[in-house]
Amino acid sequence: MFDGMLDKDLVSWNSIISGCVSNGLPLNGVELFAEMCSSGVNLDLATLVSVLPACSEMSFIKMGQTIHGYSVKVYGNKEITLVNALIDMYSKCGNLGSAKILFERMEDRSIVSWTSMISGYTRNGWFEEAMGLFEMMELEGISPDLYAITSVLHACACNGSFDQGKRMHDFVARNGLESNISVVNSLMHVYAKCGDMEAARMVFDCANKKDIISWNTMIGGFSKNCLPNEALELFIKMQCHSRPNRVTMACVLPAVASLSSLDKGREMHAQILRAEDLSDLHVSNALVDMYAKCGALSFARKIFDRIIDKDLISWTVMIAGYGMHGHGREAINAFKEMRCQGIEPDGACFISILYSCSHSGLIDEGWRFFNIMKHEYKIEPTVQHYACMVDLLSRAGRLTKAYNFITSMPIKPDSAIWESLLRACRIHRDVKLAERVAEHVFELEPENTSYYVLLANLYAEVEKWEALKKIREKISRHGKQKHRGCSWIELRNKVHVFASGSKLHPRSEKIGSFLEDVRKRMKEEGYFGQNKFILKDRNDYLKEDVLCGHSEMQAIAFGILNSSKGKPVRVTKNLTVCGDCHEVIKFMSKMVSREITLRDSERFHQFREGRCSCRGSWGAELKKNQGLYQDADSFGISLGTQGNMARRK
């Protein structure tokens, strides 16, 4: 209609420009604005205010500045709406300084000015300032509206400010604003970000109206807070009310990944393929990560290859995927290729490459990347980077070096760092250092018995019975275990969960007799009582027999007993597999001629013909198996994780 008009006046132009800009066509809006300028029609306030949001959306900061200059000349910074639009433009283009100057020099500010500035601060990472500004606004006697409330709630969420969020919640309740979906969604987001999913759920359940954002916020919250089953449950429930969109898929896929549920993952993937509008870069990246963590590295690579505009996240998940499967060389190649494509790594990307090096025993390469990161990219290492380096040294048996490295760190080491050294001390039977290390972890986490158990096992292995007795007394005194061991296996679309030490599963009798059989055969082949392996007959000092007490043993036995001969068995565990179980699983893979894949909280272990793809993170086979699994890709589908990914509540 606009094109067909013979007489276009100011309002015609303003209408079409504003129409474009507010309907996702910012470039058309800008082009029409340029046309309008050269057509000789005079501009007015509405023209400028309409076109400015298009500048911010397109990041046309030069154009925004030009408009700013023109508006000073014509309106002298006296028009509040215009200055508001300029503030918003500057903050969205990343120039918070200019936005701040404009805001501070305003004589009269409307609620929109305050809100624009509050979200400007939040957008640029100044969360405390955003919340402070909200308070100042209230002090000036301006009562917040829905926009101001959602903006400050967003700042609370980003900052993880629970108390502030709760105060806002009270305010919302007092003023009867709980019927507004945006406010409710923002509140849920605050609680989810602060880790209080119960509070988020309360808000969600009480809301009389829910939109797609409400569902996505809850599903994403469950995913991020290690409640993957709740996330999946809600995802199913949601589909009775509204259709998932791309954001939904990006929210739910990490839940699938943390459960290592390949069946569910493929279901989701199929759902994405069926609906044409369910995929974007976020979703593709989440798919690559999901497949890697479900053990299907070749699928992950296929999806990865099909991504046209790979970004830093795409590369990072692919590198981490290679790392958790022990393909360090491939990880390094991917890193190199990424740099060739002109993509700059960030701190998180370096974590995945360092992690890959440490899990593949690539010591020199690991150090090289660590130095490149510090000196070439000027990235200050965080506790996670240091943890990778300690892990690298520990696995290589350079225990003293690792100890000195930790004590010379410029930041305070956390318990995970000490733990990896403590594990290494056990493998290399270094009691003296282990005791020094243990003191640090006991101090940091006195309640966590798993460290005491670790030390106890070491004492048992070197036959220090007196020390063992003492540490066992300590264990019973400190009582509760922080993370109870549990493993799960997916068979015919059903998940079977096994907890350590329990014999509750209906098939537990059969599992027990199978494991008894394994034990007998191992005995016959001389696995006990020799120093050849870590495993010893230790009924005399361990409450639970390794063979049937540890959950992964039960899950693997269950898998072998309930699937056809020769089929691979895939199990996921929430903690790290112990050295003894690791030996037993190797034996089992040979005994029943099966490929066994175990994803623990650290990585994938692929057992085949009596060997494991981890190339001996477990010391005993450190040299023996070096380089054996260069081509582990040929395994096809296996099971993966980084850090606490596999933890399950």
Partner DNA sequence: CAAAGTTTAG
Identity of the residue, 165 or 568, whose beta carbon is nearer to DNA in the bound complex: 165
Considering only residues 41, 74, 146, 475, which one is a binding residue for DNA as defined by CB under 7 A? 146
Measured distance CA(322)–CA(453) in Å, rounded? 31
Size of site (CB under 7 A) for DNA: 76
> In this structure, are strands 596-599 and 486-491 parallel, antiparallel, or unpaired?
unpaired
Per CB under 7 A, which of residues 67..126 are in contact with DNA? 79-81, 84-85, 88, 110-112, 115-116, 119, 122
Alpha carbons 359 and 339: distance in angstroms, whole number: 22
Q: Is 159 in the site for DNA (CB under 7 A)?
A: no
List binders of DNA among 302-361 (CB under 7 A). Answer: 311-314, 316-317, 320, 346, 348-349, 352
Among 54, 96, 194, 213, binds DNA (CB under 7 A): 213
One of 29, 165, 220, 366 touching DNA (CB under 7 A): 220
**Which residue in the block uniquely carries the two structure tokens 């400190």?**
478
Helix segments in 76-180, DSSP class H:
80-92, 96-105, 111-123, 127-139, 146-159, 162-174
Q: CA separation (Å) from 461 to 169, 471, 584?
A: 56, 14, 17
> In 3D, which of 14, 629, 51, 16 has the Cα closest to residue 360?
629
80 or 495: whose CB is closer to DNA? Answer: 80
Measured CA to CA in angstroms, residue 645 lies from 198, 220, 293, 318, 602 at distances of: 21, 15, 9, 16, 8
Return the structure tokens found at 329: 């060389």
Question: Least separation, in Å, of the C-beta of 537 and DNA?
Answer: 41
CB of 399 to DNA, least distance (A): 29
The rounded distance, in Å, linking the Cα atoms of 309 and 495 is 36
Nearest CB to DNA, comparing residues 67 and 349? 349
Enumerate residues 602-621 that contact DNA by CB under 7 A: none
Q: Which is nearer to DNA, 589 or 641 (CB)?
A: 641
Segment 27 to 56, residues that bind DNA, using CB under 7 A: 44-47, 49-50, 52-53
The CA distance from 228 to 190, in Å, is: 19
Q: Which is nearer to DNA, 46 or 409 (CB)?
A: 46
User: Which structure tokens are listed for 110?
Assistant: 């409307």
CB neighbours of residue 473 within 10 Å: 11
Q: Is 178 in the site for DNA (CB under 7 A)?
A: no
Which CB atom, from 224 or from 510, has the smaller least distance to DNA?
224
List beta partners, residue 573: 487
Among 20, 63, 131, 183, binds DNA (CB under 7 A): 183
Shortest Å, Cβ 110 to DNA: 5
Nearer to DNA, 220 or 579 (CB): 220
In this structure, what are the phi and psi dihedrals at residue 381, rounded to the nearest 5 degrees?
A: -65, 140
First and final CA of the chain: distance in angstroms?
Answer: 59
Min CB(499)–DNA separation in Å: 26
Q: Is 216 in the site for DNA (CB under 7 A)?
A: yes
CA-CA distance, 152 to 424, in Å (whole number)? 47
Indicate whether 549 belongs to the interface with DNA (CB under 7 A).
no
**Tokens standing for 486?**
């549990």
H-only helix segments in 140-280: 146-159, 162-174, 181-193, 197-206, 212-224, 228-238, 246-259, 262-274
Residues 418-477 that bind DNA (CB under 7 A): none
Match 């500004």 to its residue by tokens. 133
> What CA–CA distance (Å, rounded) separates 553 from 549?
7
Question: Other CB atoms closer than 10 Å to residue 552's CB: what's the count?
Answer: 30
**One-letter amino acid identity for 588?**
M
Residue list 224-253, contact with DNA (CB under 7 A) = 224, 246-247, 250-251, 253
- Considering only 283-291, 296-304, 408-416, 558-566, which stretch makes contact with DNA by CB under 7 A? 283-291
Minimum distance of DNA from residue 71's CB (angstroms): 11
CB 639 to DNA: min, Å: 16
* 385 token code pair: 């980077």
Using CB under 7 A, which residues numbered 8 to 27 contact DNA? 10-11, 14-15, 18, 22
Q: How far is the CB of 267 from DNA (least distance, A)?
A: 18
Binding test (CB under 7 A) with DNA, winner from 159, 186, 360, 449: 186
Work out how close the CB of 148 gets to DNA at its nearest, in angstroms, rounded to a whole number: 6
Q: Which is nearer to DNA, 126 or 405 (CB)?
A: 126
> Contact between 289 and DNA (CB under 7 A)?
yes
Shortest distance, CB of residue 389 to DNA, whole angstroms?
18
